[in-house]
Chains A and B, each alone.
Chain A
């Protein structure tokens, strides 16, 4: 069965520290991978995407992600977090003929401490 897993429900990080959010997927077809961020009561903002090509992708707000096919992972990273990065982060996957039918992970809540 197709699935998207974000192992960490909640992460607390100090401002200025690095951040890594994990995402693992299980799909038979070539996946199309996305990271979205959601602030409380807000919509989903696209941070970055991977369709093909270079496995290290750069996104907005200083985020990057690396696609590792051998590990079925698409982890999100930021070298130095800002207080404004506190939000919920969702990994999403589309694949095959239903590539537009995004399946989301459960989300990771990021708390940034001073």
Chain B
């Protein structure tokens, strides 16, 4: 079965640089979620999109932005990177269809971002 695809899998950036993480949800899934997992930490919710509209927001820094495109893939843009942004970034997708709660979240393998 198709899973959530994230690219790149690994990314090394320097402080103050920008990074773009991409997420391709499971086919027919309409909702995408982004989570950040620091070393030894539990995943923290950043932001979600349903049908290309932001549906919920967590502790996402103002330096980060995200969007969901017409083909449902999503991108997380991170600017002015800081050392503390080093983490594993997960994307998850689900089929919501406007009904709560329609489906569980399926997670991608993650993008490991290292900021030096």
Interface residues on A, range: 20 to 34
**Cβ-defined contact, A102 with B45, below 8 A:** yes
**Cβ-defined contact, A44 with B56, below 8 A:** no
B104 touches which of A34, A98, A104, A106 (Cβ 8 Å): A34
Per-position 1/0 for A22-57, Cβ under 8 A of B: 000000000010101000001111100101000000
A102 to B104, CA, bound (A): 10
Residues from chain B with a CB closer than 8 A to the CB of A105 are: 42
Within 8 A of A (CB), among B51-107: 55-56, 58, 90, 92, 94, 96, 100-101, 104-107
**Cβ-defined contact, A101 with B42, below 8 A:** no
Could you count the A-B residue pairs with CB atoms below 8 Å apart for me: how many are there?
Answer: 57
A3 to B5, CA, bound (A): 30
A31 to chain B, nearest CB (A): 11
**Cβ-defined contact, B48 with A90, below 8 A:** no
Per-position 1/0 for A81-114, Cβ under 8 A of B: 0000000001000100011111111110000000
Is the CB of B108 closer than 8 A to any CB of chain A? yes
**Cβ-defined contact, A104 with B42, below 8 A:** yes
A90 to B55, CA, bound (A): 24
**Cβ-defined contact, B101 with A36, below 8 A:** no
Mostly, the A contact residues are strand
Per-position 1/0 for A49-93, Cβ under 8 A of B: 101000000000000000000000000000000000000001000
Residues from chain A with a CB closer than 8 A to the CB of B101 are: 32, 51, 94, 99-100
A107 touches which of B31, B42, B50, B104 (Cβ 8 Å): B42
A36 to B101, CA, bound (A): 17
Residues from chain B with a CB closer than 8 A to the CB of A45 are: 107
